[in-house]
């Protein structure tokens, strides 16, 4: 085999290994389970920090939408509602709307870097707290706080790191 074909095969193999769209079901669903577990920790009670599960769902809606079924997204939302004591369907509606919006933009977002994705995902990060505010006004809770702006800003800042961690590129460094 020539050196050119060997280098081409190695580059192709490296691209497939670090490519999150080639992730197996164990990595996808295992990372979503870990994200849900992170949401159970007490720091998420504050509205300043974004939902780790929602960030994980956004990531997999970009890179592997064929493994992310809306029934699964809805059931994960119901699971978060049950674990946080929220109104049933509140997070399920948010998760489904956000995943739908991200899947509409997924082909464009796959070509961008982590920073470019975080800039393009700002409207999606805004969608989650806005739906929550509208739902709370409809349910008669008229208290309003501007903490959701911090949540959007922190989501945009965390996204490149989150993207790097979930893509698994740290696992495939060869010394």
- Predicted confidence at residue 175, as pLDDT, reads 44
Average pLDDT of 20-42? 87
Q: Which pLDDT band holds residue 157 (cuts at 50, 70, 90)? A: very high
Full-model pTM: 0.84
Q: What is the pLDDT of residues 109-149, one digit of tens each?
A: 989 988 999 999 999 999 988 998 888 888 887 777 788 88
Among the listed ranges 29-38, 98-107, 133-142, which one has the minimum average pLDDT value?
A: 133-142
Average pLDDT of 52-76? 93
Distances (CA, A) of 131 to 6, 37, 92, 128, 148: 52, 23, 11, 5, 11
- Output the 3-class SS for the chain: CCHHHHHHHHHHHHHHHHCHHHCCHHHHHHHHHHHHHHHHCHHHHCCCCCCHHHHHHHHHHHHCHHHCCHHHHHHHHHHHHHHHCCCCCHHHHHHHHHHHHHHHHHHHHCCCCHHHHHHHCHHHHHHHHHHHHHHHHHCCCCCCCCHHHHHHHHHHHHHHHHHHHHHCHHHHCCC
């Amino acid at each position: 085999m020539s050196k050119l074909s060997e280098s081409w095969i190695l580059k192709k193999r490296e691209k497939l290994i670090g490519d999150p769209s080639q992730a197996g079901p164990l990595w996808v669903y295992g990372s979503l389970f870990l994200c849900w577990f992170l949401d159970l920790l007490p720091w998420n009670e504050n509205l300043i920090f974004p939902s780790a599960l929602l960030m994980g769902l956004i990531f997999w809606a970009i890179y592997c939408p064929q493994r992310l079924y809306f029934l699964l997204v809805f059931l994960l939302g119901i699971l978060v509602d049950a674990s946080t004591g929220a109104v049933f369907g509140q997070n399920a509606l948010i998760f489904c709307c956000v995943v739908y919006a991200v899947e509409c933009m997924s082909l464009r977002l796959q070509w961008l870097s982590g920073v470019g994705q975080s800039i393009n995902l700002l409207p999606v990060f805004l969608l989650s707290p806005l739906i929550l505010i509208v739902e709370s006004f409809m349910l008669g809770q008229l208290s309003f706080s501007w903490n959701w702006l911090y949540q959007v800003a922190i989501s945009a800042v965390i996204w490149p790191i989150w993207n790097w961690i979930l893509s698994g590129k740290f696992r495939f460094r060869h010394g």
